[in-house]
């Protein structure tokens, strides 16, 4: 697959446990895609919401295009995500029944189109975050020890 990752939401992997991942298209204006190609996008604190069987991306900051004129876009506007009805209904039932959140994980370009990978996630408690950090440190130590040659 021809995929160029533009940005990832590292905070999401720290604060949430990700269960399912989906890929969605984003409805953009002309100057927004140019800004995304210049890596001028920030997913920090962004989230997705389902309204009237449609999914929207909130708090995703796409900086205004430098060469844009009066037709430039608003940086923090709400953007529609393109998913199948079946996927949206599946996620909506998980959100309502099990208390999941829908979090954008990364934005990438695929065949010239901007896509966002979203995940069904549950928030981590403080002790879960500490456990993950401890496991990561243990793995790093094991990798270091296995690299040492005598």
How many domains, in total, are found in the chain? 1
Does any domain span residue 131? no
142 in any annotated domain: no
Q: How long, in residues, is the chain?
A: 150
User: What are the tens digits of pLDDT across the range 72-126?
Assistant: 777 888 999 999 999 999 999 999 998 899 999 999 999 989 999 999 998 888 7
Residue 75 covered by a domain: yes
Residue 104 lies in a domain: yes
CATH number for the domain spanning 116: value is 2.40.280.10
Query: Domain limits at 90?
Result: 3-124
- List, for residues 58-78, the tens digit of each pLDDT value: 999 888 887 777 777 778 889
Rounded to 10 degrees, what is the CA torsion of 2, 35, 62, 42?
Answer: 50
Q: Is residue 140 part of a domain?
A: no
Report which of 20, 85, 5 is spatially closest to residue 50, judged by C-alpha positions: 85
Stated pTM of the model = 0.80
Q: What pLDDT sits at residue 27?
A: 93
Is residue 52, in this structure, part of any structural domain at all? yes
User: Is residue 137 situated within a structural domain?
Assistant: no
Residue 148 lies in a domain: no
């Amino acid at each position: 697959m021809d995929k160029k990752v533009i940005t990832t939401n590292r905070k999401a992997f720290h604060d949430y446990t990700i269960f399912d991942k989906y890929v969605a298209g984003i409805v953009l204006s002309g100057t927004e895609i140019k800004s995304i190609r210049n890596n001028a996008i920030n997913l920090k604190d962004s989230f997705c919401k389902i309204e009237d069987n449609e999914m929207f991306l909130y708090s995703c900051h796409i900086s205004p295009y430098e060469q844009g004129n009066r037709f430039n876009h608003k940086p923090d506007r709400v953007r529609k995500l393109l998913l199948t009805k079946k996927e949206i209904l599946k996620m909506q039932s998980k959100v309502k029944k099990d208390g999941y959140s829908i979090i954008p994980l990364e934005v990438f370009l695929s065949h010239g189109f901007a896509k966002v990978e979203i995940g069904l996630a549950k928030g981590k408690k403080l002790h879960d975050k500490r456990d993950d950090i401890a496991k990561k440190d243990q793995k790093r130590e094991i990798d270091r020890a296995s690299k040492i040659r005598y």
